[in-house]
């Protein structure tokens, strides 16, 4: 367990960070990703270039956050899906990770956090 991790005697917390490829927190503001509106928009070369620029920014941002997370903890399980990358660990708890992410210049728009708890001594 990482030096700064908060120890919990009864539960194991698994933190999972999803780093999306095709959106940047638009759902938080009830907005829509360009990928969601592309089918409803008349496609032009400029619209396609704009979509490419957006996608490049998202992929770069996800890669930067993935690199940062891997620098603070070396025991991530990494799973790549068509919409993004999942990084899961039980070596650090998310309460310790979140301030480090913020301090590194990332925001909630760069990831989606999932957390799961398992009792150490049996079923709930």
How far is 56 from 77, CA to CA, in rounded Å? 24
* Paired tokens of 40: 């409803």
> 3-class SS at 52?
helix
Q: Three-state SS for 80?
A: strand
**Per-residue confidence (pLDDT) for residue 28, from 0 to 100:** 64
Tokens 């969601």 appear where?
A: 36
Distance CA 33, CA 17 (A): 20
Residue 12 has pLDDT above 80, yes or no: no
pLDDT at 59: 92
Q: For residue range 94-109, what is the model confidence (pLDDT) as tens digits? A: 889 999 999 999 999 8
Question: What is the model's pTM?
Answer: 0.78
Do 33 and 23 form a contact (C-beta atoms < 8 A)?
yes
Q: What is the number of other CB atoms lying within 10 angstroms of the CB of residue 111? A: 24
| 20-52 residue pLDDT tens | 888 776 666 677 777 776 777 777 888 888 888
Per the CB < 8 A criterion, the answer to whether 90 and 11 are in contact is: no
Query: Is 70 exceeded by the pLDDT of residue 8?
Result: no
Alpha-carbon distance 87 to 14, whole Å? 10
């Amino acid at each position: 367990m990482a030096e700064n991790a908060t120890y919990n005697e009864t539960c194991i917390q698994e933190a999972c960070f999803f780093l999306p490829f095709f959106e940047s927190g638009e759902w938080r503001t009830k907005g829509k990703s360009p990928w969601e509106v592309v089918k409803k928009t008349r496609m032009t070369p400029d619209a396609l270039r704009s979509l490419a620029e957006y996608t490049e920014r998202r992929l770069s941002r996800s890669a930067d956050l993935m690199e940062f997370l891997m620098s603070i903890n070396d025991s991530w399980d990494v799973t790549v899906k068509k919409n993004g990358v999942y990084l899961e660990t039980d070596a650090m708890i998310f309460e310790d990770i979140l301030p480090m992410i913020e301090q590194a210049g990332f925001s909630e728009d760069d990831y989606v956090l999932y957390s799961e708890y398992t009792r150490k001594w049996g079923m709930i």
